[in-house]
Amino acid sequence: MTTAQPTNPLLVHFSALDQATPFDQIKVEHYLPALDEAIKLTKQNIEKIKLTASAPDFENTIVKLETASELADKIALIYSNLEVANADESLQALAKEIYPKLTALASDISLDEVIFKRVKSVYDQRAQLTLTTEQARLLEKTYLSFARNGALLSVVDKDKLRQLDQELSVLGPKFSENVLKATNAFEMYLDKKEDIEGLPEGVIEAAAAMAEAKGKKGQWLFNLQVTSYLPFLTYAKSRVLREKLWRANAGRSFTGEFSNQEIIKKIVTLRSQRANLLGFKTHAEFVLAERMAQNPTTVFNFLNKILSASREAGKKDVTEVTTFAKKTDGLTDLKNWDFAFYSEKLKEEKYAFNEEDLRPYFKLENVVEGVFACAKKLYGLRFKENSEIPVYHPEVKAYEIYEDQSNKYMGLFYTDFFPRETKKGGAWMTLYRNQGLSEGSLLRPHVSIVCNFTKPTPTKPSLLSYDEVRTLFHEFGHALHGMLSNCTYQSLSGTNVYWDFVELPSQIMENWVGEKEGLDLFARHYESNESMPAELVQKLKSAQKFQAGYMSCRQVQFSLMDMAWHTADPSLIKDVDSFEDQATAETRLFPKVDGANSSVSFSHIFAGGYSAGYYSYKWAEVLDADAFEYFLEKGLFNQEVAQKFKDNILSRGGTEHPMELYKKFRGREPDAQALLRRDGLI
């Protein structure tokens, strides 16, 4: 008698609310068989399109293609999200099989001559078709996607492209894995009271709890998670230990077992070869052809303009801190590991303000309530926690989203806030399901935000730093872009927009936590429940422009480094460190430190999709500064402006060119001076 094979949860109908992902049922061994089955199904769907007897048209070719790989896309989203948010070694190990399979499938489709012939046939007659704006955009995007992925190449070149894509598909995840392992490999245990002098009580308590969890009761553990690393550099009096921690962080993945140097050289070489094969001079040219900026010259001009407005201010910021350190402690050689410490002390002196004074008002649960209250006041959304929805880790919470007035269901929202060894650093928004056409229906999105925030301690709840509060609002801005999407096609919905536009919804949300009216929604003392005093809010506002020049130079430095890696001839790059040194010379405000290298842990550009796109943070800051001036002009929660932002930006995805959408919202193109005004640089 044969026993029935247990069903693979990834291949059956998801039975939880709104077909929520059954995280509680999925095991590591389910992914590969499910993906193989999904790839087989996708190929069958592609064959059906090829065998269609009737002439190619929008419905039988473009729409069928849009939905051909639904199951494979669903499995890919689940795996790729968990691989960075909650992956043990066995789940990580699957990356080197899963990503090449997905890349091969994408290549099979984009290099299929028959399919491309059908797509091109529809594209060539686009002027005669009566298409909506969104349909026209989907047609254009589909055609360009084929062209940009090799459809116009010769057979020999198609094979070369396929090979390049296969190699690249494993290098990004490997880069990411090295950074995570290098981050986890460093631990600094302290056992003397003087070693932790200057640190806030909550930081000390968290470090004691971490040490105890590792069997070192009575000691304090500091590591390279930002919630441990940043407070130590900002408040610890011990210069020797600050230097030790700074060097460990700055040298992650530079040398040793988890070095990323050779991987970087390989990635930029393969990207360059791929761009050349497709008729572009550099990878940056290839990427920027599908961005608002359009070409590297525009990006370099933009960054240099910001740099010329920031550099003198940045130098003044460093000089001011140097003078202050000498005056207070007789320090004559200010180093990188001293800057945050003395900068914080200087800010306290100038504004009678210590950022730690804000922390008691930022209990995580209250901040989450606050971001929900903002979404309700601006866009009429309501969030209802549902503990029945499956989650992938006990710390994850799931919510149903509704339109408050009409009670219309808008989707699902997951939050995952605390660091752990199975999660990569940083913060991001992602989706488990895009809004749009799937299985013949228009489905609502399943959105998630993942962060690495200060954890609760045995005596205190999670009390966030101001920076963490801004991060939560930032990622929630991305989440709103996903939740409020009202498009027909998934590939155009939500955050599927030009990458130098995608940061506008996220960055604009940060502004509400710099205004009293926004803070009053949630900033209450975790013990007394009193609102944040007006005097403290005013100090916060006064300190907002503090060292704006320094911060701007730092962002421009990362952006120029990214552009350098992706515009240079890789065959001339012999050494990762000296290349970075040259690329950042103009922006550096401190001398180079041996053993410190940013490129080797720069996951955004080598493992996260921001290659030749890191400038988009600054680009979108211009948009957000200009857009927020409109809110300030009319009122922080002005319904008319909020409705315009929702209708023209948040709900429209990539259905139109972003500049057209922005002009519909603002009534004009963005004013580039808005950012410099906000930062006090002009």
For residue 446, list its beta bridge partners. Answer: 412, 433
pLDDT in tens, 404-418: 999 999 999 999 999
Same domain, 25 and 94: yes
Answer whether residue 117 is part of any domain.
Answer: yes
Rounded distance, CA 242 to CA 237, Å?
8
**pLDDT, tens digit, 9 for 90 and up, residues 225-264:** 999 999 999 999 999 999 999 999 999 999 999 999 999 9
Single residue among 558, 579, 614 that ends a domain in this structure = 614
Claim to verify: residue 589 and residue 603 sit in the same structural domain: yes
Asked, for residue 60, whether it belongs to a domain, the answer is yes
Do 446 and 577 belong together in one domain? Answer: no
Q: Got the DSSP string for 538-567? A: HHHHHHTTTTHHHHHHHHHHHHHHHHHHHH
Q: How far apart are CA 235 and CA 217, in angstroms?
A: 23
Indicate whether 510 belongs to any domain.
yes
DSSP code per residue over 283-340: HHHHHHTTSSS-SHHHHHHHHHHHHHHHHHHHHHHHHHHHHHHHHHH---S--HHHHH
Pair 123, 244 in one domain: no
Residue 56 forms part of a structural domain: yes
Rounded distance between C-alpha atoms, residue 611 and residue 285, angstroms = 11
Residue 171 lies in a domain: no
State the pLDDT at residue 43. Answer: 98
Question: Which CATH number characterizes residue 404's domain?
Answer: 1.10.1370.40
Find the domain containing 406 and state its range: 360-544+617-678
Asked whether residue 466 is assigned to any structural domain, the reply reads: yes
DSSP 8-state class, residue 572: G
State in Å, rounded, how far the first CA of the chain is from the last one: 81
- For residues 507 and 632, state if they share a domain: yes
Task: Specify whether 336 is located in the same domain as 433.
Answer: no
Question: Are 165 and 103 within 8 A, CB to CB?
Answer: yes
Average pLDDT along the chain, 682 residues, taken 10 residues at a time: 72 96 98 98 98 97 97 98 96 96 97 97 97 97 97 97 96 95 97 97 95 97 96 98 98 97 98 98 97 96 94 97 98 97 96 93 98 98 98 98 97 97 95 95 98 94 97 98 98 96 97 97 97 95 92 97 98 97 95 96 94 96 96 97 98 96 96 90 84
Residue where a domain terminates, one of 233, 250, 267: 250
Do both 639 and 565 map to the same domain? no
Last residue of one domain, picked from the residues 592, 614, 636? 614
Of the residues 475, 503, 580, 621, only one is catalytic, namely: 475
DSSP 8-state symbol, 435: S
Measured CA to CA, the distance from residue 426 to residue 471 in angstroms comes to 10
Q: Let me know whether 313 and 365 are in one domain.
A: no
Please give the single-letter amino acid code of residue 666: R
Same structural domain, 323 and 398: no
Pairing verdict, β 446-450 and 428-433: antiparallel
Number of domains observed in the structure of the chain: 4
Nearest CA to 84 out of 489, 457, 392 is that of 392
Looking up residue 92, the CATH number of its domain turns out to be 1.20.1050.40
Residue 73: the pLDDT is 98
Instruction: Judge whether 366 lies within some domain.
Output: yes
Q: Is 385 a known active-site residue?
A: no
User: Is residue 291 domain-resident?
Assistant: no
Q: Are residues 553 and 450 in the same domain?
A: no
Pair 431, 560 in one domain: no
Q: Are residues 499 and 573 in the same domain?
A: no
Alpha-carbon gap, residue 367 to 362, rounded angstroms = 6
- Whose tokens are 């969890």? That residue is 213
Find all residues with CB under 8 Å of 22, minimum gap 6, and list them: 9, 14, 15, 16, 390
Closest CA to 123 of 142, 109, 106: 142
- Closest CA relative to residue 458, chosen from 206, 216, 653, 241: 206
